[in-house]
């Protein structure tokens, strides 16, 4: 340090400050900074690479499924190309030539047993668009091998009257691409009409928009209740002497450290119709033995259990902000004549806003992605969007629709995460 200071002095006459070895100080400083920057970056590199491989790429690849579905292109490849030349405004049906290509593709596909390329895959794909058509593809595939080498259209149309539906052919043209928006269309409760316009699905088949709204609404309710419950106890802990507040803090942290399934089980034991609360209520005579109230396996159960699970995530940031607010501010406000309520509202509350923002956003973000708890205690009206995504993954096997719903959920979550970053900052996330 001393040496470079003297060299600064000695070289100041030339106008450029140089270090002892003659390199301009600015360049040298830049090099050192570059090196420390690089070292910092290198330290994070292993984890960054790890997460890209185990986390980022898998999710990206999964999302690709929401627009990519290759059944039609794989099963009837020649037809998928040829039908693009058909103008559905010109004629009701594709030409005899095109239908011949279709029949030949189908006959070839019948012998394929490779997964993703069978007639069954095609049938399932078309069935998503026009329910009730899967069987005509399968039965046609069995029969087209015996077709005469003329009048293909006539022979195919004779197999089943559903082949004579012009909409079937228009739909086939529309989905004869590897990339399709139709799963996003389905994910927002829309469908294509006969003319190929996107229209609303009938009410009795609409579900996803409702569930998305319900997920947002329930998360908001849960977040609201968490805030209402967290505020008083965080305040209490922030003003109590350290020893007492530490003890109370353990009561907040213990649930936080306890397994999610344990807590969910505990609530089942408490809330079910033969459970602790109901037995007490019946014993007290509040309800008859036959009319026990249903408190679990519905929305109520989901809300109670999730509030319990997420409450610590609200208490921790609130408490850490409240701890830093000097009690003298409130005393000052009151000594100047403000009522308790007024001083609280004008002086104390504004100072807790960072804590409220942090807790609210965190709880909300975690709530909208919840899966396990609603799956166990949600019954029929307490399910959230994650449960539907898992359902399409594991039961109906419509993976592309699951991916489309998942990517919509992901966009919502990432937007909230961005808000969190902007207003709170990820560096401020703390536990305990």
Partner 1 sequence: MSLPAYATIPERILHTLYLIVCGLIFLFLILPILIIMPLSFNVEPYFSFTEGMLRLDSDSYSLRWYKDIFTNGMANPDEPVFSKWFADSWNNSQWVRATRNSFFIAICSTIIATALGTLAALGLSQSEMPARSLITSLLISPMIVPLVITATGMFFFYSAAGIAKTYLGVILAHVTLGVPFVIITVTATLVGFDRSLIRAANNLGANGWTTFRRIIMPLIAPGMISGALFAFVTSLDELVAVLFLADVEQRTIPRQMWSGIREQISPTILAVATILVCLSIVLLTTVELLRRRSERLRGITPA
Partner 2 sequence: MKKFTPVSAGILLAMGAGLVHAGTITVVSWGGAYTNSQVQAYHKPFIAATGNQVISEDYNGGTAEIKAQVEAGNVTWDVVDVELSDAIRACDEGLLEEIDHSSLPAAPDGTPATDDFLPGTLYDCAVASIVWSTIFAYDKSKMADGPKTVADFFDTAKFPGKRGIRKNPKANLEMALMADGVPAAEVYEVLGTDEGVDRAFAKLDSIKSEVVWWEAGAQPPQLLADGEVAMTTAYNGRIFNAVASEDKPFEIVWDGQVWDLDLWVVPKGSKNKDLALEFVAFSTATEQLAKQASYISYGPARQSSGPMVAKFHNKDIDMGPQMPTAPANLTNALQNDFEFWADNQDQLNERFNAWLAK
Q: Which residues in this chain contact partner 2 in the complex, by CB under 8 A?
A: 112-121, 123-124, 127-128, 131-135, 138, 204-207, 210-211, 214, 272-274, 297, 379-381, 383, 388, 391, 393-398
> Could you give the CA distance from residue 311 to residue 229 in angstroms, rounded to a whole number?
8
> Could you give the CA distance from residue 221 to residue 239 in angstroms, rounded to a whole number?
28
What pairs with residue 200 in β-bridges?
Answer: 190
What pairs with residue 192 in β-bridges?
Answer: 198
Name the minimum Å distance from CB 29 to partner 2.
52
Restricting to residues 307-336, name those near partner 1 by CB under 8 A: 308, 311-312, 323
Name the minimum Å distance from CB 413 to partner 1.
6
Restricting to residues 140-159, name those near partner 1 by CB under 8 A: none
Q: Does residue 222 bind partner 1 (CB under 8 A)?
A: no
Using the minimum distance from each CB to partner 1, give the nearer residue, 329 or 431: 431
Name the minimum Å distance from CB 226 to partner 1.
11
Name the minimum Å distance from CB 56 to partner 2.
20
Question: SS3 string of 262-299?
Answer: HHHHHHHHHHCCCCHHHHHHHHHCCCCHHHCCCCCCCH
Phi, psi of 150 (to 5 degrees): -160, 165
Using the minimum distance from each CB to partner 2, give the nearer residue, 207 or 280: 207
Q: How many residues appear in the chain? A: 432
> Could you give the CA distance from residue 325 to residue 247 in angstroms, rounded to a whole number?
21
Q: Does residue 165 bind partner 1 (CB under 8 A)?
A: no
Q: 């960072």: which residue's tokens? A: 354
Name the minimum Å distance from CB 60 to partner 2.
17
Name the minimum Å distance from CB 160 to partner 2.
11
> Could you give the CA distance from residue 12 to residue 125 in angstroms, rounded to a whole number?
77
* H-run or E-run covering 198: strand 198-200
Q: Which does 419 bind (CB under 5 to 8 A by kind): partner 2, partner 1, none?
A: none
Q: Which range of residues in 100-108, 144-152, 272-280, 288-296 is near partner 1 by CB under 8 A?
A: 272-280
Name the minimum Å distance from CB 297 to partner 1.
12
Q: Does residue 211 bind partner 1 (CB under 8 A)?
A: no
> Could you give the CA distance from residue 282 to residue 285 in angstroms, rounded to a whole number?
5
Q: CB neighbours (10 Å) of residue 28?
A: 17
Residue 280's nearest CA partner among 292, 263, 294 is: 292
Out of 130, 185, 229, 356, point to the residue binding partner 1 (CB under 8 A): 229
Sign of the Cα pseudo-torsion (283, 287, 289, 295, in order)? negative
Using the minimum distance from each CB to partner 1, give the nearer residue, 36 or 84: 36
Q: Which range of residues in 75-83, 145-153, 164-172, 252-260 is near partner 1 by CB under 8 A?
A: 252-260
Q: Does residue 61 bind partner 1 (CB under 8 A)?
A: yes
């Amino acid at each position: 340090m001393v040496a470079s200071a003297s060299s600064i002095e000695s070289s100041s006459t030339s106008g450029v400050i140089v270090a002892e070895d003659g390199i301009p100080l600015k360049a040298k400083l830049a090099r050192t900074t570059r090196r420390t920057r690089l070292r910092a970056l290198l330290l994070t590199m292993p984890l960054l690479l790890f997460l890209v491989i185990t986390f980022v790429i898998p999710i990206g690849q999964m999302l690709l499924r929401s627009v990519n579905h290759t059944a039609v292109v794989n099963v009837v490849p020649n037809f998928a190309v040829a039908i693009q030349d058909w103008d559905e405004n010109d004629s009701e049906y594709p030409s005899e030539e095109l239908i011949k290509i279709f029949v030949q593709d189908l006959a070839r596909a019948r012998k394929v047993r490779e997964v993703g390329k069978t007639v069954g895959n095609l049938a399932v794909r078309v069935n998503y668009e026009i329910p009730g058509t899967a069987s005509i593809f399968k039965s046609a595939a069995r029969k087209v091998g015996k077709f005469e080498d003329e009048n293909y259209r006539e022979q195919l149309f004779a197999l089943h009257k559903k082949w004579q539906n012009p909409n079937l052919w228009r739909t086939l043209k529309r989905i004869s691409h590897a990339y399709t928006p139709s799963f996003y269309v389905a994910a927002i409760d829309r469908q294509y009409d006969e003319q190929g316009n996107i229209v609303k699905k009938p009410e009795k088949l609409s579900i996803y928009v409702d569930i998305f709204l319900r997920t947002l609404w329930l998360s908001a309710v849960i977040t609201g209740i968490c805030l209402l419950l967290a505020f008083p106890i965080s305040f209490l802990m922030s003003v109590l002497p350290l020893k007492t507040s530490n003890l109370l803090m353990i009561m907040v942290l213990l649930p936080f450290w306890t397994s999610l399934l344990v807590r969910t089980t505990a609530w089942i034991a408490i809330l079910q119709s033969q459970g602790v609360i109901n037995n007490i209520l019946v014993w007290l005579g509040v309800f008859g033995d036959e009319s026990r109230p249903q408190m679990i396996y519905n929305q109520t159960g989901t809300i109670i259990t999730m509030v319990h699970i997420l409450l610590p995530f609200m208490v921790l940031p609130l408490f850490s902000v409240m701890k830093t607010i000097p009690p003298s501010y409130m005393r000052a406000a009151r000594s100047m004549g403000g009522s308790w309520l007024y001083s609280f509202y004008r002086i104390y509350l504004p100072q807790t806003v960072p804590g409220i923002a942090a807790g609210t956003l965190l709880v909300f973000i975690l709530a909208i992605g919840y899966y396990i708890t609603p799956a166990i205690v949600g019954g029929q009206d307490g399910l959230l969007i994650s449960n539907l995504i898992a359902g399409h993954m594991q039961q109906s096997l419509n993976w592309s629709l699951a991916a489309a719903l998942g990517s919509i959920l992901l966009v919502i979550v990432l937007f909230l995460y961005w808000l969190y970053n902007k207003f709170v900052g990820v560096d401020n996330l703390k536990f305990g």
